[in-house]
Amino acid sequence: MIDDSPDIQTTQAAAASPQPGTGALEAAPKAVSRPKPEMKAEPKTEAKGEAKTEAKLETKAEPKADPKPETKAAGGGPSTSAAAEGGPDIAVLETDPESTSRSKSKGRRAKSAGTGATKSAKAAEKAANAAIEARIGHRFADPSLLSTAFTHVSALKSAKKRGDSYQRLEFLGDHVLGLIVSDMLYRSFPGADEGELSKRLADLVRKESCADVAKSLGLLDDIKLGAVGAGAGARLRKSVLGDVCEAVIGAIFLDGGYAAAAGFVERNWTERMRKPRRPLRDPKTVLQEWAQGKGLPTPVYREVERTGPHHDPQFRVAVDLPGLEPAEGVGGSKRAAEKVAASVMIEREGVSGGSNDG
């Protein structure tokens, strides 16, 4: 049963009608709840904005940060990237392609010139060696032996490397020459005794005979000397010509063996062996005996001059006899110079059997 009393209706009406302030409370939560999506959206919007900004910044920064290829400047200088840090002008100078190209071109030309000079020097040396080989009659399998045979100790860069001069080859050649000539004399003079053979041998292997052979082969100008004056060089060449000849014999022996060395000696000594160019006796003895036969005193020898370096001196000696013009001779020792002087006087005065091959 429905209660329609006025109090109940009034209560119901009041409950049904909105109370003052109630609508505002209900609306407030709705108003507060609406901005929540906006609050959530704002961070996203800011994040997106920041991401875009960062992306733009990175995009703009990347070309600047990207280092340019490092190109070394001509001459091995700093790279262009390093030069760019010091200023744009420096970078432009060091990365100038024309400058780099010119530097490379100059380097290639210098290298080409050096290579060309080396080839020319080798070709000239080869041609000179071929000319010497033609004169001595032996083609070397080892050209360095021929080069060493003509190298004086003064031409060495270091005095400690004396083995690179002709001296060792001279030692060997001296003994090889003695053996070959001894064999030639033994076979050519079957009736000669030991004394005569020894005298003939001494005459044929002495320095003057070797120098005469070298001179006949045109080897004088092939000798390699160090920094000496023109006059000193000429005297030095003449004084060591016999040594060089022996060195050549040693070089041939090492390169081609005994047969090759014997062939060289036989070609150049056979005629001298059969027709000795000087008395078999010592010229000083011959001159003294001739002077005594003329009633003259013993010849007097005096040193006129000493020249050349300490290790290779040259002596000029004169021999005097009363009533005769002095005669002079030059040699690597006083005794050698005295023999030459005696030979000069013997030849000049027409002493029987005497000659000068000095």
Is residue 183 one of the residues assigned to a domain? yes
165 and 262 both lie in a single domain: yes
Indicate the average pLDDT of the chain: 75
218-260 pLDDT, tens per residue? Answer: 998 889 887 765 566 677 777 889 999 999 999 999 999 999 9
Q: Residue 61 CB: number of other CB atoms within 10 A?
A: 10
Is residue 158 one of the residues assigned to a domain? yes
User: Is 196 annotated as belonging to a binding site?
Assistant: no
Residues near 324 by Cβ (< 8 Å), separated by ≥ 6? 345, 349
Is residue 195 one of the residues assigned to a domain? yes
Annotated catalytic residue 312:
no
> Catalytic one among 208, 212, 222, 246?
246
Is residue 266 one of the residues assigned to a domain? yes
260 and 293 both lie in a single domain: no
Which position has the higher pLDDT, 264 or 69?
Answer: 264
pLDDT at position 261:
98
Distance CA 99, CA 285 (A): 81
> Catalytic one among 94, 174, 203, 208?
174
* Domain, as residue range, for 229: 143-274
Of 243, 274, 305, which residue is a domain's last?
A: 274
241 and 287 both lie in a single domain: no
pLDDT at position 6:
53
pLDDT at position 270:
95
CATH number at residue 306: 3.30.160.20
179 and 258 both lie in a single domain: yes
Q: What residues are paired with 269 via a beta bridge?
A: none
Is residue 45 one of the residues assigned to a domain? no
Q: Is the pLDDT of residue 74 over 50?
A: no
Does residue 147 contact residue 180 with C-beta atoms inside 8 Å? no
Of 257, 274, 291, which residue is a domain's last?
A: 274
Count of the separate structural domains present in the chain = 2
Q: Residue 288 CB: number of other CB atoms within 10 A?
A: 17
Residues near 255 by Cβ (< 8 Å), separated by ≥ 6? 138, 140, 141, 142, 145, 146
User: Is 246 annotated as belonging to a binding site?
Assistant: yes
User: Is 243 annotated as belonging to a binding site?
Assistant: yes
156 and 255 both lie in a single domain: yes
Is residue 355 one of the residues assigned to a domain? no
Of 225, 245, 274, which residue is a domain's last?
A: 274
Is residue 237 one of the residues assigned to a domain? yes
Annotated catalytic residue 196:
no
Map tokens 């050349």 to a residue: 308
323-350 pLDDT, tens per residue? Answer: 999 999 998 889 989 999 998 999 888 8
147 and 221 both lie in a single domain: yes
